[in-house]
C-alpha cells in the first residue's frame, strides 16, 4: 500500500455509523465542564469585584447581562450559519477567544474594561454551545436525551466546580489570579481539537445513520406555539437559576452572616445538585417522554421553592439541593423537544435554546440586581420563589414525534 493511498484511507469517513460513541460524548461533556467552569468563575468573583470597585448590585447585574446577552445574541446565528456551512474548526477557535477574554478579565482595572472582558468571554461561549451540542447529538446513536444530558451535566459540573476553584485561587490572591483560568481554556482547546478531528472524519457518516430517526416535526403554527411556551418555561427556569448563581452568596451573607468562602460552599452544593439532576433528566426523557420530565421538573420543585425563603440555614441547604435536583432535569428535555419539533436544524435550535438560556439569565441577573438595590436581596428570593408555577404552561406544548 502506497503512502498516498494510506493517507486517503485515513481521511475517508468510516463506512458504518458508530452508534453511541461514549468517548466523543464524554469528551464533549468534559469540554463543556471546562467551558462552564470558566463561565462560573465570573459570577463567583462578583463579591470581590463589588468590594474592589465599589460596584452596586445594578452594576454587578450589568456585567452579567453583557456577558450573557453577548453569548445569547450570537448563538442562534452561529448555529444557523453552520447548519448550512459546517465549520468544525470553529470549536477550538472559539475557545481561543475565551482564553483571550480571561486574560482581559485578569488585567482589567475599571468597570468599562470589566464589561469588555465579559463581552469577549461571551463571544467564546457563543461559538461553543451550538457546535458542541451538535457533536454530542451526532455521537448519540439516536439516544438524543442521554447524549444531551451527558453533555449538559458536564457544563453543570463545571458550574459547580468553578466557584470552588475561585474561592481557592482568586478570592485569597485577588483579581490577577483569574489568569490561572487561562490554563483551563488551553486544556479545553486541546480537547476540542481532538473532537473536531473525529467530526471531520465521521460526521457525515454519523449524520446519515441518524437520518432515519428524524420525525416530521411540527407545522409552522405548532412551532410558533411550542417556542412561545418554551420561552416562558425557560424564563421561569433560568431567572430562578440566575437568582442562585448570581445572588445566592449575597443572600446567605446577608441573611445568615456567612463568610464569602462559606457561602461559596453552599453555592457549590446547589450547583452540584443541578449537575446530578441534569444527568438524570435526559435518560428519563428517552424512556417516559419529554413533556413528562418537564411537568415533573417545574411543578415538583414549586413546594421547595416556596419554602426556601422561610427556612433556616440547615433547611436552606437541604431545599437548595432538592431545587437543584428537580428543576435542572428539564433542560435536556426542552432541548431535545425543540430539536424534534424542527428536525434538520440542530445547530440553529441548539443556538436558540442556549441563547435563550444565556439571554434570559443575563436579563434576569440585571433585573434581579435592580430589584435587590430597591428592595433587598432577601425580598428577591421571596419574589422568585413563585416562578416555578409558570410550569403550568407545559400543558400547551404540542405533541411531537416523541414527547
What is the DSSP code string of 59-124? HHHHHHHHHHHHHHHHHHHHHHHHHHS--TTHHHHHHHHHHHHHHHHHH--SHHHHHHHHHHHHHH
Residue 3 lies in a domain: no
Question: What pLDDT is attached to residue 225?
Answer: 85
Does residue 403 lie within any of the structural domains?
no
Closest Cα to residue 268, out of 158, 183, 177?
158
d(CA 159, CA 173): 21
| Cβ burial, residue 9 (10 Å; 0-12/13-18/19+) | exposed
Q: Note whether residue 129 is domain-resident.
A: yes
CA 273/CA 323 separation, integer angstroms = 8
9 within a domain of the structure (yes/no): no
Residues ≥6 apart with Cβ < 8 Å to 318: 311
Could you give the 3-state DSSP secondary structure of residue 16? coil
Longest pairwise C-alpha distance within the chain = 76
The number of domains in the chain is 1
The reply to whether 7 falls in a domain is no
CA dihedral defined by 272, 158, 141, 94, rounded to 10 degrees? Answer: 160
Specify if 115 maps to a domain: yes
Structure pTM? 0.68
Per the listing, cell 463545571 goes with 158
pLDDT band at 9 (very low <50, low <70, confident <90, very high): very low
Looking at residue 217, what is its pLDDT?
60
Cβ pair 74, 339 in contact under 8 A? no
pLDDT at 379: 94
pLDDT tens-digit readout, 332-382:
777 777 777 776 666 666 666 666 666 677 678 778 888 988 999 999 999
Q: What is the pLDDT of residues 126-152, one digit of tens each?
A: 888 888 888 887 887 767 777 877 887
What would the pLDDT profile of 153-178 be if each residue is shown by its tens digit? 788 788 778 888 988 898 888 889 99
Instruction: Evaluate whether residue 163 is within a structural domain.
Output: yes
Output the DSSP codes for 193-205: HHHHHHHHHHHHH
The CA-based angle 77-79-83, given to 5 degrees, is 120
Q: What is the distance between the alpha carbons of residues 340 and 345, in angstroms, rounded to a whole number?
A: 9
Domain that holds residue 181: 20-396
* Helices (runs of H) and strands (runs of E) counted in the chain: 16, 0
Is the residue at 274 inside a domain? yes
Contact 13, 27 (CB under 8 A): no
CATH number for 341: 1.20.1250.20
Amino acid at each position: 500500500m502506497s503512502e498516498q493511498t494510506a493517507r486517503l484511507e485515513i481521511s475517508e469517513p468510516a463506512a458504518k455509523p458508530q452508534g453511541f460513541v461514549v468517548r466523543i460524548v464524554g469528551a464533549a461533556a468534559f469540554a463543556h465542564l471546562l467551558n462552564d467552569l470558566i463561565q462560573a468563575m465570573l459570577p463567583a468573583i462578583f463579591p470581590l469585584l463589588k468590594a474592589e470597585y465599589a460596584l452596586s448590585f445594578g452594576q454587578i447585574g450589568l456585567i452579567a447581562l453583557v456577558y450573557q446577552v453577548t453569548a445569547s445574541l450570537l448563538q442562534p446565528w452561529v448555529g444557523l450559519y453552520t447548519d448550512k456551512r459546517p465549520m468544525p474548526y470553529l470549536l477550538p477557535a472559539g475557545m481561543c477567544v475565551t482564553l483571550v477574554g480571561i486574560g482581559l478579565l485578569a488585567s482589567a482595572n475599571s468597570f468599562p474594561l470589566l464589561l469588555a472582558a465579559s463581552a469577549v468571554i461571551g463571544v467564546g461561549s457563543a461559538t461553543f454551545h451550538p457546535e458542541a451540542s451538535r457533536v454530542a447529538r451526532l455521537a448519540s446513536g439516536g439516544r438524543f436525551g442521554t447524549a444531551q444530558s451527558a453533555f449538559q451535566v458536564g457544563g453543570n459540573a463545571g458550574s459547580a466546580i468553578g466557584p470552588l476553584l475561585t474561592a481557592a485561587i482568586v478570592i485569597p490572591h485577588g483579581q490577577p489570579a483569574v489568569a490561572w483560568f487561562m490554563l483551563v481554556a488551553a486544556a479545553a482547546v486541546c480537547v476540542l481539537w481532538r473532537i473536531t478531528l473525529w467530526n471531520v472524519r465521521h460526521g457525515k457518516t454519523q449524520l446519515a445513520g441518524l437520518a432515519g430517526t428524524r420525525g416530521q416535526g411540527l407545522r409552522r403554527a405548532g412551532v410558533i406555539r411550542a417556542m412561545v411556551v418554551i420561552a416562558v418555561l425557560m424564563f421561569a427556569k433560568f431567572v430562578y437559576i440566575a437568582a442562585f448563581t448570581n445572588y445566592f452568596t449575597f443572600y446567605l451573607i446577608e441573611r445568615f452572616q456567612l463568610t464569602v468562602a462559606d457561602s461559596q460552599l453552599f453555592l457549590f452544593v446547589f450547583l452540584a445538585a443541578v449537575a446530578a439532576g441534569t444527568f438524570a433528566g435526559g435518560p428519563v426523557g428517552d424512556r417516559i417522554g419529554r413533556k413528562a420530565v418537564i411537568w415533573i421538573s417545574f411543578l415538583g420543585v414549586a413546594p421547595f421553592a416556596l419554602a426556601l425563603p422561610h427556612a433556616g440555614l440547615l433547611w436552606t441547604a437541604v431545599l437548595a439541593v432538592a431545587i437543584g435536583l428537580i428543576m435542572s432535569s428539564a433542560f435536556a428535555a426542552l432541548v431535545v423537544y425543540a430539536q424534534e419539533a424542527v428536525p434538520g436544524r440542530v445547530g440553529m435550535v441548539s443556538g436558540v435554546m442556549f441563547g435563550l438560556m444565556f439571554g434570559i439569565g443575563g436579563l434576569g441577573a440585571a433585573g434581579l440586581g435592580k430589584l435587590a438595590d430597591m428592595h433587598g436581596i432577601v425580598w428577591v428570593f421571596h419574589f422568585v420563589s413563585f416562578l416555578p408555577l409558570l410550569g403550568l404552561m407545559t400543558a400547551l406544548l404540542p405533541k411531537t414525534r416523541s414527547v
